[in-house]
Structure 1
């Protein structure tokens, strides 16, 4: 773990009740010593609000290493640190485990996606994603458009750092469709064909998006920009 690594946190008490975005947080490693890891104040992934935790709160911490592999460890909040950059001191782990979980991270982001029917049950269409993860995505179904059948071919355009783009073509299974409160229909897909290299690219894409969102929030806070 190096300085600047992005972490995703889950509160263990909430995790027992069923983990979702409501109890997932992101933060950044800003310093460390032999006993503690120092992180900036975690932000709720869903609400985008800075979270407040009591001393002793136990977290499951997940991050992507330099080798593009997912790691996790369990830690505990020791204390809050006042200073030029307020931070939290969490316990440095004795063990860090390598894991393989495609769905451990998903980010809300709008990228172009073309949807093709596996059996020509509906004409191809282009729309925007609602969120993207390494194991699947959800997308906005345009008005007067139907998705028939279970299997579809998805063609994505993923903007990466330094101006690079990825164009993955992924075979996916339609999991469900539902109308949101604003009457927009959202369709969720599970990826079926995804090699290890592309999976790692998607994980990196998700973390880059989280990093961008975190930087934007810090900028807004610094300049007193409040979203209504």
Structure 2
């Protein structure tokens, strides 16, 4: 399913600057072409200011269908058109490369990312995630750490994106389950209990890029 004429696209622009890469923009689809879409100039969803795009800019986009599903895809700027207002031409996505995410669920992908965990003022450690998603994560750590179901943790997740930028996503999570692995290791499944929307979006963006990377192999 592709976005339709007059539909609103929401997106972030790939940038080596972490603050710039985190800004959310939106544009209306003004026209559909055989190989792309013409969209209006980007507007910051936070400030309402316009943003100038350049040829080749990479965009991580999504649109919301009538049934509330978010449809994520990658695109890039392929040209411009002056039609009373300046329109931006972007590449039309392959329908098979659009990732669908239900409104009340989140995409989850396998990933080994660095995670800093704080159990208390005296107990802190660093480990690797097993998978990550917009609703929670799981991680594998040394078996010596005292992890229990229902325990609340403070965590800092290190995210690395395809364009080379790096982000930190802090959150508080609750242990849903602890599993004993091989000798000396544990796996903990965590659900987010306190996380800013901007931090959750960083994780969702990482998951989306990871899913597309897997599809292209």
TM-score, structure 1 normalization: 0.49
TM-score, structure 2 normalization: 0.52
Contact persistence 1:69–1:98 (CA under 8 A)? no
Mapping of residues 54-65 of structure 1, within 5 Å: none
Task: Give per-residue Cα distances to partners, 1:118-157, cap 9 Å, x unaligned.
Answer: x44x620000000000010000021322225611101110
Higher helix share: 1
Measured in 2, the distance between the counterparts of 1:100 and 1:129 equals 24
Structure 2 match to 1:107? 109
Are positions 1:66 and 2:57 aligned together? no
Higher strand share: 2
Structure 2 match to 1:139? 139
Mapping of residues 1-228 of structure 1, within 5 Å: 1=2, 66-67=61-62, 72=69, 100-101=103-104, 103-117=105-119, 119-120=120-121, 123-148=123-148, 150-180=151-181, 182=182, 184-215=185-216, 217=217
Measured in 2, the distance between the counterparts of 1:145 and 1:209 equals 29
Measured in 1, the distance between the counterparts of 2:140 and 2:63 equals 29
Task: Give per-residue Cα distances to partners, 1:188-219, cap 9 Å, x unaligned.
Answer: 1111112222222211110111111222x3xx
State the aligned residue count: 134
Contact persistence 2:114–2:129 (CA under 8 A)? yes
Contact persistence 1:68–1:200 (CA under 8 A)? no
In structure 1, the gaps of 5 or more residues are 3-64, 74-88, 91-96, 218-228
In structure 2, the gaps of 5 or more residues are 4-59, 71-94
Which consecutive aligned stretches of 4+ in structure 1 deviate over 6 angstroms post-superposition? none
